[in-house]
Amino acid sequence: MFQDASGLPLSGTALVACVTYALFAGFVTGPLIGERTAIKAGWYSQCASHISAEISAAHPDSLPLPKFGCEALFGFFGEEGAAYCRRHGNVFDNNILTQTLDRAQSASRAARENRIANAAANASSRCECALTTTLESRRTSFALYAGSLRLIEPPAVKALQSELVSSLNSPACAFGGGSS
C-alpha cells in the first residue's frame, strides 16, 4: 500500500521537521510578523485617517441656508426697501421661517457630527478587522516571508498597505468588523 520512503532525498525525521517548520511559519510566525510589519508601517494611524476621510466625503457638511432678514425680503424694492428696513429695524431677522431653518441646519450638523463620532468609535475594530482579514487571506505569503527569514518577499507582503485598504473596504469590515 505505502511506497518505500527510502527513495526520498530527505529522511523521515527531516521531512517531519520541514513540515513542522512550515506549519509553525504558517500559523505562528507568519501572522505575527505580518502584524508587526503592519504596525511598524503605521497601519492604525493611516487606517483611522482613511476612515475619517471616507466618512467626511460620504457625508459632506450642509450648505449654509439663506437668512430671510429685512434686506433679503425687501431688498428688491431698492432704496425704498432699504429705507423701510432702516426705519423699522430688522424685525424680520427673527421670524419663524429663519428659526425653523436654523433648527434644521443645527440638526443636520449634529447628525453629521454624530456619524463622524460613531465612525471614529468603530475605527479601531474596523482597522483590526482589516488586519486580521488580510493576514488570514494571505497566510501563505506571510508564512513564506517568515519561513524564509524575510529573504523572500511575496507581492502580497510588498503591497501590504494596498491589501489592508482593500480589506478595510471589503464587506466583512465595512461596518465595525462585520458586526452590524
pTM reported for the whole predicted model: 0.65
The reported pLDDT for the residue numbered 36 is 94
The reported pLDDT for the residue numbered 6 is 61
Alpha helices in the chain (DSSP H): 12-24, 30-40, 43-58, 70-74, 79-88, 96-137, 139-147, 155-158, 160-168
CA distance 151 to 84: 83
CA distance 100 to 155: 57
The reported pLDDT for the residue numbered 4 is 56
CA distance 25 to 28: 6
The reported pLDDT for the residue numbered 179 is 41
pLDDT, tens only, 123-175 = 888 999 999 999 999 999 999 999 998 899 999 999 999 999 999 999 998 76
Query: What is the percent of the chain with per-residue pLDDT over 70, rounded to a whole number?
Result: 86
Rg (CA), the chain: 31
Angle, CA of 101, 104 and 110, to the nearest 5°? 140
Mean pLDDT computed over 71-86? 79
CA distance 172 to 67: 45
